[in-house]
Amino acid sequence: MKQIVENKLYGMFWDLSPEAKKIAVEKINMDPVSSFLNEQVFLRALNTLSWYELIQLLGPDNLIKLLNDTTIDRLFPETRRNYYKNAKKLLSKYIVSPSE
- Model confidence pLDDT, tens digit, residues 42-64: 999 999 999 899 999 999 999 99
| Res 91: pLDDT | 81
User: CA 34, CA 1: separation in Å to the nearest integer?
Assistant: 22
Length of the chain: 100
Contact 81, 52 (CB under 8 A): no
Residue 66 above 80 pLDDT?
Answer: yes
Residue 98 above 60 pLDDT?
Answer: no
Contact 43, 71 (CB under 8 A): yes
pTM metric for this prediction: 0.87
Residue 22 above 90 pLDDT?
Answer: yes
User: CA 16, CA 83: separation in Å to the nearest integer?
Assistant: 28
- Model confidence pLDDT, tens digit, residues 75-87: 999 999 999 999 8
Phi-psi region of 95 (alpha: psi -120 to 50; beta: other; left: phi over 0): beta
| Res 100: pLDDT | 47
Contact 17, 42 (CB under 8 A): no
Q: Pick from 12, 29, 30: which is nearest to 21 by CA?
A: 12
